[in-house]
Amino acid sequence: MLKRLYSSAAAAAATVAATFATSATSAHPFRVAVVGSGPAGFYAAYRLLERLPQASVDIYEALPVPFGLARFGVAPDHPEVKNCQDKFTEVAETQPTRLRFVGNTAVGRDVSLPNLVNAYNSVLFAYGAAHEQSLGVPGEQLPGVYSARQFVGWYNGLPSQAGLNPPLENAEVVTVIGNGNVALDVARVLLCDPETRLKATDITEEAYEVLKRSRVRHVRVIGRRGLLQSAFTTKEIRELVNEPGVTMLPLHERYIAPYRALIPKLGRVQKRMMQVIEKASNAYDPTVPAAKTFSLEYLLSPKEFFPGTTPGLLSATECRINVLQQDDLTAPARAVVTNETVVLPNELVFKSIGYKAEPLLGMDSLGIAFDEIRGVVPNELGRVLVKTPHNGKNEASTPSKSLYVTGWVKTGPTGVIASTMREAFEVADLMVDDVLSGTANTDIKPGYAGVVSEIEASTHPVSWAEWKAIDQAEAARGAEIGKPRVKFQSVSDMLDVLGIKS
């Protein structure tokens, strides 16, 4: 599918190039700053470079290394999902005069957002959702309660999570709150045999050693709504139920009974998922000892976490029991909290309830009223909504023709890399339309030259060539122990490769 989309983009490029060249736009570069080097940012940059022959794109990244969620958010035993990094590398290395990587440079810290906007014809926000949602219940800040974002970042080498080291060697029962794909990644990593599943991957050595010492024997995955509202995909649940040495405990009848008669009426995707779950549930044999187990549990909303007697561990999670309100299969299902509760014994909890973005420093001065509730930049089809004076006193939001947004900071934390690519292409096409229609600002802009002195006064901006030096050093470290790479887990270690003291 990715190849088909790439081909269609390339096929359209020649026609669009001619249109661009004969348009009213002058021959100087159309300069675009992309804030964020994850899949959304790179896919948008790729599309812009394909469709606008005069586009010059600079990608700004707070870390010295690129690729965002593809590097730090994908489970290490899913290397095929990380293959998009190969495409991003190809784009960067085949367009060296038109695509610049500016790493180790945080917009709002090392370069002010208003200055960046003034230096470019267009700015595209693609910095993702790097913060976790909160449950807002008592005990959430206790040691022993972790977010999936922390855990996933830790085993993937995200510098901010280095040293997390959850006490898995002291825990036997874990509760994962949420039932999306990330929740199942967490469950699978906790339950798998690290030596066979993870040793040869790019998981950090620190995480690998902690997981080898783990005593976790049961993982409970809970959701606030019903079985049919599970957010994981069939592929993910099939992988977990087929994990060697791991057994799924029988699904409680109250979870599946309401849907059993409806399975033939379900759509193909939901029907497959239900069949995988029911087959695994029915296969449980209580006479066969199970070394490690997991369970899917539903209609539960955490009410409070309780500390254990051992430092760093919990004793239990109290949950409210929900009832599901749904008129029919096509209507949205709503979980209604009751006064009934249940106490679930567990030593550790991992919250996988979603990510959220936060505003960049300086957005308010540009008239961008960041949506704190949804955690997104307000927009209309990808054009950022900017507040402007209206009738002298009130403010009206209008779509900008120089500020754009894509990825999770536009949509919220939904979708996978393939859907992120499609959405990034759509926003890039919108930017192209604004150029070709003459509504975009096509004045001569300095781009990177207009902000480089400000950046260098604050930090060392890491170039693509310098990232490749870090990349090669990681690969060399990995080759010594049979891994694709051993990631540097701190910014200072990354910069040390370049001979730069942070």
In angstroms, rounded to a whole number, what is the distance separating the alpha carbons of residues 238 and 181? 11
Tell whether 4 is in a known binding site.
no
Tell whether 354 is in a known binding site.
no
Q: How many CA atoms lie within 13 A of 3 on its CB side?
A: 0
Tell whether 179 is in a known binding site.
yes
CA dihedral 492, 109, 146, 310 (to 10 degrees): 60
Nearest to 433, CA basis, from 25, 60, 34, 117: 25
Sequence letter at residue 472: Q
Tell whether 40 is in a known binding site.
yes
In angstroms, rounded to a whole number, what is the distance separating the alpha carbons of residues 193 and 86? 29
Rg (CA), the chain: 24
Tell whether 137 is in a known binding site.
no
Asked if 246 and 294 count as a contact pair (C-beta separation under 8 A), the reply is yes
Sequence letter at residue 70: A
Q: Are strands 314-325 and 334-345 parallel, antiparallel or unpaired?
A: antiparallel
Tell whether 180 is in a known binding site.
yes
Burial string for 136-151 (b: 16+ CB within 10 Å, else e) reads ebebeebebbbbbbbb
Q: State residue 333 phi and psi, 5-degree precision.
A: -95, 135
Asked if 226 and 322 count as a contact pair (C-beta separation under 8 A), the reply is no
In angstroms, rounded to a whole number, what is the distance separating the alpha carbons of residues 90 and 112? 30
Asked if 408 and 90 count as a contact pair (C-beta separation under 8 A), the reply is no
Tell whether 408 is in a known binding site.
yes
In angstroms, rounded to a whole number, what is the distance separating the alpha carbons of residues 462 and 104? 6
Query: Exposed/middle/buried for 397, CB within 10 Å: 0-12, 13-18, 19+?
Result: middle
Tell whether 205 is in a known binding site.
no
Report residue 305 CA to chain centroid gap: 26
Edge-to-edge strands of the sheet including 145-147?
145-147, 348-351, 173-177, 218-222, 292-297, 246-248
Tell whether 200 is in a known binding site.
no
| Neighbour count for residue 55 (Cβ, 10 Å) | 25
In angstroms, rounded to a whole number, what is the distance separating the alpha carbons of residues 412 and 372? 11
In angstroms, rounded to a whole number, what is the distance separating the alpha carbons of residues 400 and 117? 12
Asked if 54 and 31 count as a contact pair (C-beta separation under 8 A), the reply is no
Tell whether 225 is in a known binding site.
yes
Element (H, E) at 497: helix 491-497
At a CB cut-off of 8 Å and minimum separation 6, what does 254 contact?
Answer: none
Tell whether 417 is in a known binding site.
yes
Tell whether 464 is in a known binding site.
no
Annotated binding site for NADP(+): 179-182, 224-225, 236, 415
Annotated binding site: 40, 61, 69, 107, 179-182, 224-225, 236, 408, 415-417
Annotated binding site for FAD: 40, 61, 69, 107, 408, 415-417
